[in-house]
Amino acid sequence: MKQYKDLVAKKVLVLGLAKSGVAAAELLHSLGAFVTVNDAKPFDASPDAQGLLQKGITVICGRHPEDLLDEGFELVVKNPGIPYFNPVVADATRRGIPVWTEVELAYLISEAPMIGITGSNGKTTTTTLVYEMLRVGGLQPLIAGNIGTVACGVAEKATADNVIVTELSSFQLMGTNSFKPHIAVLTNLYDAHLDYHGTFDAYADAKFGVTRNQDEHDYFIYNADQPTVVAYAEKSKAQKIPFTTKGRTEVGASADDVAIYWNGEKVVDRADIVLPGQHNVENILCAIATATLLGCEASAMTQVLATFGGVRHRTQFVREWQGRRIYNDSKATNCLATKSALEAFTSPLVLLAGGLDRGHSFEELREAMQHVRVSISFGETGMRFAEFAKSCGVEEVIVAVNVEDAAAYARKLSQQGDIILLSPACASWDQYESFEVRGDLFIEAVTKF
């Protein structure tokens, strides 16, 4: 770990705990900063806050005092989920106090080069693919960021022999100042998180933070099929590496119906790739470009692509049972994600969908429903999705109680050659704590077939 001297004796406020807040507070304390942690959860109900207090860190819990910043803080490090219209954050901005997320800390202390991967869709799959390719290739990768492992905690232990593959959200990138990954990836841009950012332009500007500080010694891998992304790429000072799914090209990563290419040379046949779906081709192109730039051997990349069945809960291959292939796509909490999953298959589908009713239409799915033979819906939207499925001409339509009940119907109604796909198009919170819980229950149910 680099000893970042600029934080010695500085008064720093860590706003919000959870994993990132705890890691940031501990790191700042070890770097010699005077750290105060502020979290809304009561102290008695927060083991994290109690642990930090025992280490000599000042803790203010149960409220966010209006005069909190009167203590003379020189830096605020906030949880990425806390919006900028939060009163404390807004006050810090008015006072000219820098507001970071822990990703900035990770960059400042990391001895290892960092890879920054962002985009509206595909971040987790791309990050995992890159990590697996580098791991198989013997390049000692570490994985961090929005994928679940706090970046500054990983950077604290990394050496110059490692490379940190980091999934980054727009929330995290807004809180960076000097962050400069050696390789930056922007998978795509769609409307997302507008409740946080306000406008698409503000959201896209946050995503552009992944390459904003790069220079000619760095690389920016970007989606050449999206004009909005191309316009942002033109602003980058890094070496630009385009990728496209619209046919073989001589520069960058590309794909046609036959193969995946790097600078026009075939890397792998499409038939040898296990991961399903056209949307995953983008992720594969990003991963191949990143791994190649880091010196990964083609054999390592092809080995991963021949075995990698998907990230858990993201069009994840679960098992084959009596001629049926079963996939868990519980992460599909909106119609766009489910549309991508449906378009990944041409075999007859038994679709399990439904969940929290936010009142949105399912019309976006209509064209993609052409291969659905059986619809099994559940949750608050169960009846509404069933009516939609009937209007699409689905052969058999069932309303189940929950995802376990839906899995039982899938076992009974599926036929040899079918794909059984959980892709809810809805959030899980009507019945389950998270999409992970919903997906885990589905996996448990189908493994008992």
Query: Is residue 121 a known part of a binding site?
Result: yes
Number of C-beta neighbours around residue 295 at 10 A: 9
* 320 in Cβ contact with 326 (< 8 Å): yes
Q: H or E stretch including 139?
A: none
Nearest-angstrom CA–CA distance, 315 and 277: 9
Burial of 97 (0-12, 13-18, 19+ CB in 10 A): middle
Q: How many residues does the chain have?
A: 449
Residue 223's DSSP bridge partners are 243
Number of C-beta neighbours around residue 264 at 10 A: 11
Distances (CA, A) of 77 to 8, 151, 287, 403: 15, 14, 31, 39
Query: Is residue 123 a known part of a binding site?
Result: yes
Nearest-angstrom CA–CA distance, 400 and 441: 15
Quick one: tokens of 366? Answer: 């209509």
* 111 in Cβ contact with 1 (< 8 Å): yes
Query: Is residue 122 a known part of a binding site?
Result: yes
Query: Is residue 146 a known part of a binding site?
Result: no
Burial of 227 (0-12, 13-18, 19+ CB in 10 A): exposed
Backbone angles phi, psi at 220, to 5 degrees: -120, 115
Residue 201 CB partners (closer than 8 Å, separation 6+): none
Q: Cα angle at 286 between 2 and 112, to 5 degrees?
A: 10
259-262 and 265-269 as β-strands: parallel, antiparallel, unpaired? antiparallel
Query: Is residue 124 a known part of a binding site?
Result: yes
Distances (CA, A) of 404 to 18, 146, 378, 448: 31, 29, 10, 11
Quick one: tokens of 33? Answer: 């900063």
Nearest-angstrom CA–CA distance, 27 and 35: 10
Quick one: tokens of 161? Answer: 């022999």
* 329 in Cβ contact with 341 (< 8 Å): yes
Nearest-angstrom CA–CA distance, 125 and 9: 40
What one-character DSSP code corresponds to residue 258? S
Q: Compute and round to an integer the Cα radius of gyration of the chain.
A: 23
* Residues flagged as binding site: 119-125
* Residues flagged as binding site for ATP: 119-125
